[in-house]
Structure 1
Amino acid sequence: MELFFKYLQYEKRYSPHTLTSYHTDLGQFAQYLQQVYDITDAAEADHTIIRSWLLTLVQHNIQPRSINRKIACLRSYYRFLLAQQRIAVNPMLRIKAPKASKKLPAFVLEEPFNTLLDNFTFEDNFEGQRDRLILEFLYGTGIRLAELLGVDHTDIDHRAKVVRVLGKGNKERIVPLNDSLLNSIAAYEAQKKQYFADNNSVKLLVTNKARPLYPKFVYRVVKKYISLITTSEHNSPHVLRHSFATHLLNKGADLNAIKDLLGHASLAATQVYTHNSIEKLKSVFEKAHPKA
């Protein structure tokens, strides 16, 4: 398994988030094999054993989306074993994934969020400007949490008004920055220089001890402020990415342009946002049309 994870990390360039999830999934599968079938090598499991594990997950009310991720993990693993000639037949060829219900991406409403950024008084110090920048960066660019944490000072080109982002699979893309976001970056950088006498940090966003920010920190900041404008439980950093795409689409932005901004590999991943836009069109129709 360790060889498999090195393969995913260094050859397939999987994200740290995916690697963590796959570690968990394979660990659970290995534990099941040992406890139920007294098998210590996953290469010995056939499709009936794998199916029994998946059935157990269903019986424990695990969501279809989570089960599908575990199936994707096992498919990658057994393809790897087949390529390494550890197995002669891929047992995952006889496994079908359950259908998962499609959920519309959660997003915050445009007006309340912009009111938060414009009217909320963020403290005029390092911490206050950092909190504001986290919110505005995620919403103003639509980049992923991992991408935000990876942004260095040198990745930002103030003159060209762009930021260089390293996305999934180490794919680099250029994302434009609006004037408001550039002003927030400048205000934060000024506070950062005052707060740290010797500022040698390469990363743009850091903790109070000049260490790079970590995911839980950003989650806490986003939840703190989003909770001020909505009672929804959907208040993670990814919701701001959804909001970025949904608001652009509602304003008439081209779907292919949004795809490139988000760093999606295919248009299929971006098309999910059209459903939110269609729901808005329905709402406008029902309010405006005399026969609605």
Structure 2
Amino acid sequence: MESNLKAYQDYLLKEKNYSILTSKAYLGDINSFKQYLTNNHDEVQLEVVNYSLIRSWIVFLVENNNSNASVNRKISSLKSFYKFLLKIKEISQNPLLKHKSLKTAKKVQIPFSEKELNDVFNLNNFDSNFEGVRNQLVIELFYATGIRRAELIGLKTGNVDFSNKTIKVLGKRNKERIIPLLECTVGLIKRYLDEKNELFLKDENDLLILSKKGNKISESFVYRLINDYFSTVSQKVKKSPHVLRHSFATHLLNNGADLNSVKELLGHSSLSSTQIYTHSSLSELKKTYKEAHPRSKK
């Protein structure tokens, strides 16, 4: 059994190109089920379970206040593992083949308004030193490119092509994409690099965004930075890097960008992932429709 788990982890990392964090999350869910079997079913092996055992785990999870979304994620990890076991002929049938996910309430993400974005740039007095320019650039990159938090942290100085005004981003599953840069973003990057190069040694392959000590920034640092700055201009409950990415997509759609273009910019593999952002732009569409349709005044 342990050898199958190790083989599965290698499969996720090497064949599926999942990140270490993602593979750990998958293995964590599977080990959670394994522990449940150990505690409740006389250590039944993962390879020989049937759906009724998995169903009992689902009931156990729900009764212990796991949300439906959390349960669905765990079952998705388990289903992936059994698909792998089927692939390497360790089992003859996936016990989750006919499983249906638990229903979850769709959460509508509320993006920042264009006014809130303008306010965060215009009303905050960003210091003109390294930290101030860096903080402004972090917000600028999120809103001007729609990149993910992990993508921003992994950016290198060499990813910026100043002559073509583009930036190369390494996304999920090591997929690269090229994103165009606005003139103002290019100018801010140059200004930041001037500050950065005064403090730290230049290196072609160094990380673009650094801490004040010259180290790689953390995910929690980025979250706090966005939350702190947007707390001054927005009353929204959630103020995170992902809300900025959401705002990027929504504002592009509101201003006439087509869905396929936004999909490419975001690095989504399918349109269904991008379509969640159309819910936010629907209110704008309704407003335009009502104002423009001849019969709206009747």
Aligned partner of 1:119 among 116, 120, 123: 123
Q: Unmatched 5+ residue regions in structure 2? A: none
1:249 Cα deviation from its structure 2 partner: 0.4
1:155 Cα deviation from its structure 2 partner: 0.7
**Corresponding residue number in structure 2 for 1:106:** 110
Distance in 1 (alpha carbons) for counterparts of 2:69 and 2:283: 23
Distance in 1 (alpha carbons) for counterparts of 2:250 and 2:22: 25
Q: Which moved more, 1:229-238 or 1:12-21?
A: 12-21
Q: Deviations over 1:22-64 (max 9, x none)?
A: 2332232222121222326322322111111112222233222
Q: Which moved more, 1:32-41 or 1:221-230?
A: 32-41
**Corresponding residue number in structure 1 for 2:134:** 130
**Corresponding residue number in structure 2 for 1:279:** 283
Q: Unmatched 5+ residue regions in structure 1? A: none
Distance in 2 (alpha carbons) for counterparts of 1:10 and 1:286: 52
SS in 1 for 2:198: helix
Letter aligned with residue 124 of structure 1: S
TM-score by length of 2: 0.90
**Corresponding residue number in structure 2 for 1:270:** 274
**Corresponding residue number in structure 2 for 1:58:** 62
1:163 Cα deviation from its structure 2 partner: 0.5
Distance in 1 (alpha carbons) for counterparts of 2:88 and 2:7: 10
Letter aligned with residue 260 of structure 2: N
**Corresponding residue number in structure 2 for 1:25:** 29
Q: Which moved more, 1:42-51 or 1:245-254?
A: 42-51
1:286 Cα deviation from its structure 2 partner: 6.6
SS in 2 for 1:165: strand
**Corresponding residue number in structure 1 for 2:238:** 234
1:276 Cα deviation from its structure 2 partner: 1.2
Contact 1:255 1:271 in 2 (8 A): yes
Letter aligned with residue 18 of structure 2: Y
Contact 2:108 2:279 in 1 (8 A): yes
CA 1:222/1:38 → structure 2, altered by over 3 Å: closer, same or farther? farther
1:82 and 2:86 aligned = yes
Distance in 2 (alpha carbons) for counterparts of 1:227 and 1:101: 27
Q: Deviations over 1:98-122 (max 9, x none)?
A: 1222222331111111221133111
Letter aligned with residue 165 of structure 1: V
**Corresponding residue number in structure 1 for 2:158:** 154
RMSD of aligned Cα (Å)? 2.0
Aligned residues: 290
CA 1:158/1:169 → structure 2, altered by over 3 Å: closer, same or farther? same
1:164 Cα deviation from its structure 2 partner: 0.7
1:67 and 2:71 aligned = yes
Contact 1:51 1:95 in 2 (8 A): no
TM-score by length of 1: 0.92
CA 1:23/1:184 → structure 2, altered by over 3 Å: closer, same or farther? farther
Letter aligned with residue 142 of structure 2: L
Identity %: 42
1:17 Cα deviation from its structure 2 partner: 4.4
1:173 and 2:171 aligned = no
Distance in 2 (alpha carbons) for counterparts of 1:84 and 1:123: 57
Letter aligned with residue 120 of structure 1: N
Aligned partner of 1:258 among 249, 259, 262: 262
